[in-house]
Structure 1
Amino acid sequence: MTRKIAVAGASGRMGRMIIEAILADQNCCLSAALDRADSPFIGRDATDFAGQLSGVAIATSVPDAFAASDCLIDFTRPEATLAHLDAAVAAGKAIVIGTTGFDAAGKAKIAEAAKTIPVVFAPNMAVGVNAVFRLLDVAARILASGYDIEVIEAHHRHKVDAPSGTALRMGEVVAQALNRDLSECAVYGREGYTGERPEQQIGFATVRGGDIVGDHTVMFAGLGERIEITHKASSRMPYALGSLRAALFLDGRSPGLYDMQDVLGLR
C-alpha cells in the first residue's frame, strides 16, 4: 500500500529534496505540501521545481494536509514543528521530525505527543550518521582512558543553531558510553587563558560558512595517536532518504517515541 506523505517547508532546500525522494520511491506518494503563509510559492504545484506536475499545490492549512496524508515529514523550525505536532495529535496521524534546535520544553512536548501518536524524532536522519553513532559507542568504550574527546562540526551559513543536533547527539552517545553527564563535562568553544584541558571534558567546535551541507568528526586524541570518526554529507539526499524510511517504518506502528536507531533495527 502506498504511503501518503505530507511535507512541511515544501519550498525550502530540505523540503524539495524530500519531495524528490518521494517522487523516486514507489512506496510513497506526495499527498500534501506545506509552507509559511508569506511564501511566494503558495498555490504553485509542489513539484514544479522538478519540471513535473503532481497536482499537489503548496498550501498553508495543516489540518487539510493531515486529512489527506498518513504522515508528515517536518524539517522546519522548532516553533513551526511544535504547531504541526499539535495538529498531528488532533488528527491522530504520524509525524517524522528532523527539525533541530529544540529546548527542553520542546523535547518534552514531543515526548508527551508520542504517548498518543507514533513519532520518529532524530537529530539526523541519514543512515550513515546513525551507523557512526553505533561506531562511536564502541570506540568510546575501547578508548575510555587516556584519550581526549573533541566534536567538530561544520555547516552552511544559513544554519541557525549551534552546535548541530547531530554533534550534540554524538557527544551524548560518547558520554553515555563513558558514564558521564554531558551537561557537566561539555565545553562549547574556548577563548583566552583556559588552563589545561580537564581529563573528563568533551569539547565542541563549530564552523559556519558557505554551502557546507554537514561535516561531523569526533576525535579521540591520545599520546602518540589520534582516532577520528567522520561523516561528511555532500548533499541533503541522505537526510531525505532516511526520513522516508522513517515514514514507512511508522506505518501501522503503535504510539511511541522512536528514533533512527529503531528505524534501522539497531536497538
Structure 2
Amino acid sequence: MTTLGYITILTLVFSIHTAYKIFIKISNKKYNYEDFLNYKKEYGEFINESIDYNSFLKMNQKKDNIVIKFIQLLFISLIVIAMNMLFVFLSHNFYWLKAYKSLSEKKYESVVVGYNIEVSYGSSFRSYSPRKILIYYPKVKFIDEAGKQIIKQGDLGTNDKNKNPIGEKLIITDKKENDFVNIIEVDWVFFIGTIFIGINSFFSSLISLYPSNLNLKQRIVKSFYFGILIFSINLACLMVLKFLQN
C-alpha cells in the first residue's frame, strides 16, 4: 500500500470517530441539565433506582427514531470526511509528495514532445448539462543517468494546451521505477492553493474540535494555529519547488 493509502485510511478512521463524537454531543444537547432536574422532580417518586445525568441522556437517546439518527450520523460523517480528506489529499499530492520527490530523486532537464489526453466532464453555473473537458498531460523526453533517452508522462495536467507547448523545456525529477515524472513547475495556482488549503484546514480543525470541552474562542484560536501550520508547511514545500525550478 502507498503512503497516500495509509494516510487515507487514518484520515477516514479519525473522521468517522470525530463524526460520531459530534453526533453524540449534538444528541445530548437536546436534553440539558435543567430537563434532567425537572424529570427527577416529576417522576422521582416512581423511580426505584437512582438515576444520574448520563443515564438520563442514554434513556432519552433510545427514544429517538433510529432512521433519523442514522441519517444525522451519515450527514455529519460525510461533512467531516470531506473536509479532512480535501486538505490531506491536496497537501499530499501537490505539495508534500512533490517536494519530497524533488529533493530525493535525480533532477533532469526535459523537452515536451507530445501529450497524453484525458477526458473529464464538468458543468458551469449557466448550464447544468455536462461538457467535455480535455486534460493535457505533457510527455517529456530526457536523457537519464545511464545515457538512455527516456519518454515519460508528466504528473501535472492542464486544460490549456498552450501552457506547456511542444519544445518547451521543463525541469523534472525521476526514478527508473516511476510511471510518471515529477514536473517541477510553480505558478500562481499553487500559491492560491496554499491559501485555500490553509482555510480548509482551519474549518476542518474547528469541526473536529467541536466535541472537546474547549469553548468557542479556544477552538477558534487552536484551529487558526492549525491552519497557519498547514499553510506554512505547504508554503515551505512551494519554496523548495521554486528554488529547484530555477
TMscore range, shorter length: under 0.3
Structure with more of its chain in strand, by fraction:
1
Query: For the pair shown, which has the larger CA radius of gyration, 1 or 2?
Result: 2
TM-score, normalised relative to structure 2: 0.24
